[in-house]
Amino acid sequence: MCKLKMAMLRHGLLYLLSIATVGATALSASHAADMAVDPDALETLRKQGVNFPPDGASPSTVTAFKAYLRNKDAYADYLTRDEFLRYKQVQQEKYAGIGLELERDPHGAVICYPDRLGPAGKAGVAAGDRLVAVDGQPIEGWALPSVVAKAAGSPGSTLAIEVQRGASRHRFSIIRTQPLGQSVSAQRQGGRLVLRIASFTPNTRQELEFELLHLKPREALVLDLRGNRGGDLNSSIDCAMLFLNKGQAVASVRRNDGVHPFASAITGRWHGRTALLWQDAQTASAAEVFIAALTENNHGTSMGRKSFGKGTEQDLFVLGSGAALIVTTGFLVTPGGHDIDGRGIEPNKALPAGAELRTWR
Protein backbone atom coordinates (compact mmCIF):
# COMPACT_ATOMS: atom_id res chain seq x y z
CA MET A 1 0.00 0.00 0.00
CA CYS A 2 1.81 8.18 1.19
CA LYS A 3 1.76 11.39 3.08
CA LEU A 4 3.58 14.40 1.66
CA LYS A 5 4.31 14.04 5.48
CA MET A 6 6.13 10.81 4.96
CA ALA A 7 6.18 7.67 6.92
CA MET A 8 8.91 5.12 6.46
CA LEU A 9 8.26 2.22 4.11
CA ARG A 10 8.83 -0.81 6.33
CA HIS A 11 9.18 -4.48 5.47
CA GLY A 12 5.93 -6.29 6.08
CA LEU A 13 3.62 -3.28 6.14
CA LEU A 14 0.86 -2.30 3.82
CA TYR A 15 2.41 -0.28 1.03
CA LEU A 16 1.23 3.17 1.93
CA LEU A 17 4.11 5.58 1.49
CA SER A 18 4.01 9.02 3.03
CA ILE A 19 5.55 11.80 1.07
CA ALA A 20 7.84 13.83 3.28
CA THR A 21 10.16 16.38 1.83
CA VAL A 22 13.87 16.45 1.04
CA GLY A 23 16.11 17.97 -1.60
CA ALA A 24 16.84 15.27 -4.08
CA THR A 25 16.23 14.82 -7.78
CA ALA A 26 14.24 11.75 -8.79
CA LEU A 27 15.62 9.41 -11.41
CA SER A 28 13.04 9.16 -14.19
CA ALA A 29 12.29 5.92 -15.95
CA SER A 30 13.90 7.12 -19.17
CA HIS A 31 17.26 7.64 -17.41
CA ALA A 32 17.24 3.98 -16.38
CA ALA A 33 16.14 2.63 -19.76
CA ASP A 34 19.36 0.79 -20.57
CA MET A 35 20.21 -0.38 -17.05
CA ALA A 36 20.06 -4.08 -16.30
CA VAL A 37 17.72 -5.40 -13.63
CA ASP A 38 19.34 -6.96 -10.56
CA PRO A 39 19.06 -10.75 -11.07
CA ASP A 40 17.96 -11.07 -7.43
CA ALA A 41 14.82 -9.13 -8.36
CA LEU A 42 13.63 -11.86 -10.69
CA GLU A 43 14.17 -14.64 -8.15
CA THR A 44 12.54 -12.63 -5.34
CA LEU A 45 9.60 -11.79 -7.56
CA ARG A 46 8.90 -15.40 -8.40
CA LYS A 47 9.24 -16.57 -4.79
CA GLN A 48 7.37 -13.78 -3.02
CA GLY A 49 5.04 -12.08 -5.53
CA VAL A 50 1.47 -13.40 -5.41
CA ASN A 51 0.66 -12.14 -8.91
CA PHE A 52 3.60 -13.67 -10.80
CA PRO A 53 3.84 -17.26 -12.10
CA PRO A 54 7.05 -18.98 -10.94
CA ASP A 55 8.08 -19.87 -14.49
CA GLY A 56 7.06 -16.60 -16.13
CA ALA A 57 9.53 -14.69 -18.28
CA SER A 58 10.30 -11.08 -17.41
CA PRO A 59 12.23 -8.23 -19.08
CA SER A 60 15.84 -7.55 -18.15
CA THR A 61 16.03 -3.74 -18.51
CA VAL A 62 14.74 -1.41 -15.82
CA THR A 63 12.13 0.47 -17.85
CA ALA A 64 10.67 -2.69 -19.37
CA PHE A 65 10.80 -4.46 -16.00
CA LYS A 66 8.88 -1.63 -14.26
CA ALA A 67 6.21 -1.75 -16.95
CA TYR A 68 6.02 -5.52 -16.57
CA LEU A 69 5.63 -5.22 -12.79
CA ARG A 70 2.79 -2.71 -12.98
CA ASN A 71 1.00 -4.71 -15.63
CA LYS A 72 0.89 -7.68 -13.24
CA ASP A 73 0.74 -5.90 -9.87
CA ALA A 74 -0.52 -2.31 -9.57
CA TYR A 75 1.43 -1.75 -6.34
CA ALA A 76 4.73 -3.32 -7.40
CA ASP A 77 7.79 -1.30 -8.30
CA TYR A 78 11.53 -1.54 -8.79
CA LEU A 79 13.98 1.05 -7.49
CA THR A 80 17.45 1.30 -8.89
CA ARG A 81 20.30 1.69 -6.43
CA ASP A 82 20.32 5.48 -6.91
CA GLU A 83 16.54 5.76 -6.50
CA PHE A 84 16.61 3.70 -3.33
CA LEU A 85 19.53 5.67 -1.89
CA ARG A 86 17.60 8.90 -2.45
CA TYR A 87 14.52 7.48 -0.81
CA LYS A 88 16.53 6.30 2.21
CA GLN A 89 17.98 9.77 2.49
CA VAL A 90 14.44 11.10 2.88
CA GLN A 91 13.63 8.57 5.57
CA GLN A 92 16.78 9.17 7.59
CA GLU A 93 15.97 12.83 8.19
CA LYS A 94 12.97 14.76 9.46
CA TYR A 95 11.29 16.96 6.89
CA ALA A 96 8.12 18.97 6.61
CA GLY A 97 5.15 17.92 4.49
CA ILE A 98 1.79 18.98 3.08
CA GLY A 99 -0.53 16.37 4.62
CA LEU A 100 -1.18 14.34 1.47
CA GLU A 101 -1.35 10.58 1.16
CA LEU A 102 -0.61 9.06 -2.24
CA GLU A 103 -1.56 5.65 -3.55
CA ARG A 104 -1.15 3.98 -6.89
CA ASP A 105 -4.49 2.71 -8.22
CA PRO A 106 -4.95 -0.54 -10.20
CA HIS A 107 -4.43 1.42 -13.43
CA GLY A 108 -1.08 2.86 -12.32
CA ALA A 109 -2.27 6.40 -11.60
CA VAL A 110 -1.06 8.14 -8.43
CA ILE A 111 -4.14 9.19 -6.45
CA CYS A 112 -4.26 11.90 -3.77
CA TYR A 113 -5.93 11.57 -0.38
CA PRO A 114 -5.38 14.79 1.58
CA ASP A 115 -5.74 15.22 5.30
CA ARG A 116 -8.72 17.55 5.44
CA LEU A 117 -6.99 19.65 8.11
CA GLY A 118 -3.55 19.60 6.47
CA PRO A 119 -1.98 22.12 4.08
CA ALA A 120 -3.00 20.20 0.93
CA GLY A 121 -6.60 19.79 2.08
CA LYS A 122 -6.89 23.44 3.03
CA ALA A 123 -5.38 24.44 -0.33
CA GLY A 124 -8.13 22.59 -2.20
CA VAL A 125 -6.60 19.24 -3.15
CA ALA A 126 -9.48 16.73 -3.16
CA ALA A 127 -9.62 13.02 -2.45
CA GLY A 128 -9.42 11.17 -5.77
CA ASP A 129 -7.35 13.81 -7.57
CA ARG A 130 -4.68 12.23 -9.78
CA LEU A 131 -1.20 13.61 -9.21
CA VAL A 132 0.49 14.36 -12.54
CA ALA A 133 3.45 16.62 -11.73
CA VAL A 134 5.63 17.77 -8.84
CA ASP A 135 7.52 21.06 -9.13
CA GLY A 136 6.76 21.11 -12.84
CA GLN A 137 8.07 17.63 -13.61
CA PRO A 138 5.63 14.93 -14.84
CA ILE A 139 5.74 11.86 -12.59
CA GLU A 140 4.41 9.29 -15.07
CA GLY A 141 6.51 6.13 -14.81
CA TRP A 142 8.11 7.07 -11.50
CA ALA A 143 8.10 4.83 -8.45
CA LEU A 144 6.34 6.38 -5.47
CA PRO A 145 9.63 6.58 -3.54
CA SER A 146 11.04 8.63 -6.41
CA VAL A 147 8.09 11.00 -6.13
CA VAL A 148 8.98 11.23 -2.45
CA ALA A 149 12.54 12.18 -3.29
CA LYS A 150 11.40 14.78 -5.78
CA ALA A 151 8.97 16.32 -3.30
CA ALA A 152 11.99 17.69 -1.45
CA GLY A 153 12.18 20.74 0.73
CA SER A 154 12.42 22.27 4.14
CA PRO A 155 9.79 23.67 6.53
CA GLY A 156 8.31 26.86 5.14
CA SER A 157 9.33 26.13 1.55
CA THR A 158 6.80 25.81 -1.26
CA LEU A 159 5.91 22.64 -3.13
CA ALA A 160 4.12 22.96 -6.46
CA ILE A 161 1.89 20.09 -7.52
CA GLU A 162 -0.44 19.56 -10.47
CA VAL A 163 -3.45 17.25 -10.34
CA GLN A 164 -6.03 15.96 -12.78
CA ARG A 165 -9.65 16.20 -11.61
CA GLY A 166 -12.09 14.89 -14.15
CA ALA A 167 -11.43 16.68 -17.42
CA SER A 168 -9.58 19.63 -15.83
CA ARG A 169 -6.15 20.21 -14.34
CA HIS A 170 -5.45 22.16 -11.17
CA ARG A 171 -2.17 23.59 -9.89
CA PHE A 172 -1.41 24.23 -6.23
CA SER A 173 1.48 25.93 -4.47
CA ILE A 174 1.56 24.63 -0.91
CA ILE A 175 3.75 25.62 2.02
CA ARG A 176 5.38 22.68 3.72
CA THR A 177 4.78 22.48 7.46
CA GLN A 178 5.94 20.16 10.21
CA PRO A 179 3.42 17.36 10.73
CA LEU A 180 1.50 17.34 14.00
CA GLY A 181 2.66 13.78 14.54
CA GLN A 182 -0.48 12.51 16.27
CA SER A 183 -2.52 9.85 14.52
CA VAL A 184 -5.29 9.86 17.17
CA SER A 185 -7.33 12.90 18.22
CA ALA A 186 -10.23 13.13 20.67
CA GLN A 187 -13.38 15.18 21.21
CA ARG A 188 -16.65 14.75 23.07
CA GLN A 189 -19.80 15.01 21.03
CA GLY A 190 -23.35 14.42 22.19
CA GLY A 191 -22.38 12.36 25.23
CA ARG A 192 -19.91 10.26 23.25
CA LEU A 193 -16.13 10.10 23.24
CA VAL A 194 -15.12 10.34 19.58
CA LEU A 195 -11.58 9.20 18.76
CA ARG A 196 -10.46 9.92 15.23
CA ILE A 197 -7.77 7.55 13.94
CA ALA A 198 -6.28 9.30 10.90
CA SER A 199 -3.86 6.48 10.05
CA PHE A 200 -2.08 3.58 11.69
CA THR A 201 1.52 4.34 12.62
CA PRO A 202 3.96 2.69 15.05
CA ASN A 203 2.71 5.15 17.72
CA THR A 204 -1.03 4.71 17.19
CA ARG A 205 -1.58 2.05 19.85
CA GLN A 206 0.10 4.17 22.51
CA GLU A 207 -1.91 7.23 21.47
CA LEU A 208 -5.17 5.26 21.40
CA GLU A 209 -4.55 3.78 24.86
CA PHE A 210 -3.90 7.23 26.27
CA GLU A 211 -7.16 8.63 24.91
CA LEU A 212 -9.15 5.57 26.03
CA LEU A 213 -8.09 6.27 29.61
CA HIS A 214 -10.45 9.26 29.46
CA LEU A 215 -13.46 7.08 28.56
CA LYS A 216 -16.11 7.33 31.28
CA PRO A 217 -17.78 4.13 32.56
CA ARG A 218 -21.08 4.51 30.72
CA GLU A 219 -19.93 6.77 27.91
CA ALA A 220 -20.41 5.64 24.31
CA LEU A 221 -17.21 5.23 22.30
CA VAL A 222 -16.96 6.18 18.62
CA LEU A 223 -13.84 5.30 16.62
CA ASP A 224 -13.82 7.50 13.53
CA LEU A 225 -11.88 5.86 10.68
CA ARG A 226 -13.33 7.89 7.83
CA GLY A 227 -10.62 8.72 5.33
CA ASN A 228 -8.15 6.39 7.07
CA ARG A 229 -6.19 4.82 4.21
CA GLY A 230 -4.47 2.26 6.43
CA GLY A 231 -0.75 2.42 7.07
CA ASP A 232 1.02 0.03 9.43
CA LEU A 233 -0.71 -3.36 9.41
CA ASN A 234 1.03 -4.48 12.59
CA SER A 235 -0.16 -1.32 14.34
CA SER A 236 -3.79 -1.91 13.35
CA ILE A 237 -3.58 -5.47 14.67
CA ASP A 238 -2.09 -4.24 17.95
CA CYS A 239 -4.85 -1.63 18.27
CA ALA A 240 -7.56 -4.22 17.64
CA MET A 241 -6.17 -6.34 20.48
CA LEU A 242 -7.12 -3.59 22.94
CA PHE A 243 -10.76 -4.60 22.40
CA LEU A 244 -10.47 -8.38 21.91
CA ASN A 245 -10.22 -11.43 24.13
CA LYS A 246 -7.03 -13.46 24.11
CA GLY A 247 -7.00 -15.95 21.25
CA GLN A 248 -9.65 -14.23 19.13
CA ALA A 249 -8.80 -13.99 15.44
CA VAL A 250 -7.70 -10.56 14.20
CA ALA A 251 -6.94 -11.25 10.53
CA SER A 252 -5.11 -13.59 8.18
CA VAL A 253 -2.71 -12.98 5.32
CA ARG A 254 -2.86 -15.37 2.38
CA ARG A 255 0.60 -15.69 0.80
CA ASN A 256 2.27 -18.02 -1.66
CA ASP A 257 3.32 -20.36 1.17
CA GLY A 258 -0.12 -20.56 2.77
CA VAL A 259 -2.42 -18.65 5.11
CA HIS A 260 -0.82 -16.87 8.07
CA PRO A 261 -3.31 -16.14 10.89
CA PHE A 262 -3.00 -13.41 13.51
CA ALA A 263 -4.75 -13.87 16.86
CA SER A 264 -4.96 -11.57 19.86
CA ALA A 265 -2.08 -12.27 22.24
CA ILE A 266 -3.85 -10.56 25.14
CA THR A 267 -7.24 -9.84 26.61
CA GLY A 268 -7.50 -6.15 25.94
CA ARG A 269 -8.32 -3.70 28.70
CA TRP A 270 -11.40 -2.52 26.77
CA HIS A 271 -12.60 -5.94 25.60
CA GLY A 272 -15.95 -5.43 27.33
CA ARG A 273 -16.72 -2.17 25.55
CA THR A 274 -18.58 -2.17 22.24
CA ALA A 275 -17.32 0.60 19.99
CA LEU A 276 -19.12 2.35 17.16
CA LEU A 277 -16.82 2.26 14.13
CA TRP A 278 -17.37 5.06 11.63
CA GLN A 279 -16.20 4.22 8.09
CA ASP A 280 -16.59 5.68 4.62
CA ALA A 281 -15.66 4.94 1.01
CA GLN A 282 -12.04 6.01 1.63
CA THR A 283 -11.47 3.74 4.65
CA ALA A 284 -8.92 1.19 3.41
CA SER A 285 -6.29 -1.46 4.08
CA ALA A 286 -5.17 -1.66 7.72
CA ALA A 287 -8.24 0.36 8.75
CA GLU A 288 -10.49 -2.27 7.16
CA VAL A 289 -8.59 -4.98 9.05
CA PHE A 290 -9.20 -3.11 12.32
CA ILE A 291 -12.93 -2.70 11.65
CA ALA A 292 -13.42 -6.34 10.65
CA ALA A 293 -11.50 -7.56 13.71
CA LEU A 294 -13.91 -5.75 16.05
CA THR A 295 -17.19 -6.24 14.21
CA GLU A 296 -16.72 -9.91 13.32
CA ASN A 297 -15.76 -10.68 16.93
CA ASN A 298 -18.82 -8.79 18.22
CA HIS A 299 -16.78 -6.06 19.89
CA GLY A 300 -17.94 -3.29 17.59
CA THR A 301 -20.74 -2.04 15.35
CA SER A 302 -19.87 -0.27 12.13
CA MET A 303 -21.72 2.62 10.54
CA GLY A 304 -21.26 4.78 7.47
CA ARG A 305 -20.58 3.64 3.92
CA LYS A 306 -19.00 0.60 2.31
CA SER A 307 -15.21 0.75 2.72
CA PHE A 308 -12.70 1.04 -0.11
CA GLY A 309 -11.62 -2.59 -0.44
CA LYS A 310 -7.82 -2.51 -0.54
CA GLY A 311 -6.76 -5.69 1.15
CA THR A 312 -3.22 -6.37 -0.03
CA GLU A 313 0.13 -6.45 1.72
CA GLN A 314 3.32 -5.18 0.10
CA ASP A 315 6.91 -5.81 1.16
CA LEU A 316 10.12 -4.07 0.22
CA PHE A 317 13.09 -6.33 -0.53
CA VAL A 318 16.60 -4.86 -0.59
CA LEU A 319 18.63 -6.61 -3.29
CA GLY A 320 22.31 -7.43 -3.44
CA SER A 321 23.15 -4.56 -5.77
CA GLY A 322 21.51 -2.01 -3.46
CA ALA A 323 18.40 -1.84 -5.63
CA ALA A 324 15.00 -2.58 -4.09
CA LEU A 325 11.86 -4.41 -5.14
CA ILE A 326 8.37 -3.60 -3.87
CA VAL A 327 5.82 -6.33 -4.54
CA THR A 328 2.46 -7.54 -3.31
CA THR A 329 3.11 -10.56 -1.11
CA GLY A 330 -0.29 -11.30 0.38
CA PHE A 331 -4.04 -10.76 0.52
CA LEU A 332 -5.80 -9.74 3.73
CA VAL A 333 -8.63 -11.90 5.05
CA THR A 334 -11.06 -11.02 7.86
CA PRO A 335 -11.65 -13.25 10.94
CA GLY A 336 -14.78 -14.56 9.22
CA GLY A 337 -12.78 -15.65 6.17
CA HIS A 338 -13.83 -12.80 3.86
CA ASP A 339 -11.42 -11.27 1.36
CA ILE A 340 -11.14 -7.49 1.68
CA ASP A 341 -9.44 -6.67 -1.61
CA GLY A 342 -11.82 -5.46 -4.27
CA ARG A 343 -14.82 -6.08 -2.03
CA GLY A 344 -14.60 -3.77 0.96
CA ILE A 345 -16.62 -4.05 4.15
CA GLU A 346 -20.30 -3.23 4.36
CA PRO A 347 -21.28 -1.25 7.49
CA ASN A 348 -23.74 -2.74 9.97
CA LYS A 349 -25.75 0.46 9.59
CA ALA A 350 -25.57 2.47 6.37
CA LEU A 351 -25.36 6.26 6.64
CA PRO A 352 -25.40 8.66 3.68
CA ALA A 353 -22.26 10.54 2.72
CA GLY A 354 -21.84 13.62 4.86
CA ALA A 355 -24.10 12.30 7.63
CA GLU A 356 -23.49 13.69 11.10
CA LEU A 357 -23.01 11.57 14.19
CA ARG A 358 -26.42 12.58 15.52
CA THR A 359 -28.05 10.57 12.71
CA TRP A 360 -26.92 7.39 14.48
CA ARG A 361 -29.47 6.03 16.91
pLDDT tens digits, 336-347: 999 999 999 999
- 42-72: buried (b, 16+ CB within 10 Å) or exposed (e) per residue? bebbeebbbbbeeeeeeeeebbebbebbbeb
Rounded Cα–Cα distance for residues 184 and 193 (Å): 12
User: Are 200 and 249 found together in one domain?
Assistant: yes
- Among candidate residues 175, 200, 229, the one where a domain is terminated: 175
User: Are 113 and 195 found together in one domain?
Assistant: no
User: Are 105 and 235 found together in one domain?
Assistant: no
On whether the CB atoms of residues 154 and 176 are closer than 8 A, the answer is yes
How would residue 135 be classed by pLDDT, with cut points 50, 70 and 90? very high
User: Are 113 and 87 found together in one domain?
Assistant: yes
User: Are 217 and 120 found together in one domain?
Assistant: no
For the chain, what is the mean pLDDT? 83
Q: What pLDDT does residue 14 have?
A: 28
SS3 of 47, please? helix
The whole-number average pLDDT for the span 35-48 is 81
User: Are 188 and 171 found together in one domain?
Assistant: no
Residue 137, domain CATH: 2.30.42.10
Q: What pLDDT does residue 165 have?
A: 97
Segment 275-324, tens digit of pLDDT: 999 999 999 999 999 999 999 999 999 999 999 999 998 889 999 889 99
How would residue 54 be classed by pLDDT, with cut points 50, 70 and 90? low
How would residue 143 be classed by pLDDT, with cut points 50, 70 and 90? confident
User: Are 159 and 192 found together in one domain?
Assistant: no
Q: How many domains are there within the chain? A: 2
210: number of Cβ within 10 Å: 11
Q: What pLDDT does residue 93 have?
A: 64
Residue 56 lies in a domain: yes
User: Are 171 and 189 found together in one domain?
Assistant: no
234: number of Cβ within 10 Å: 17
User: Are 188 and 123 found together in one domain?
Assistant: no
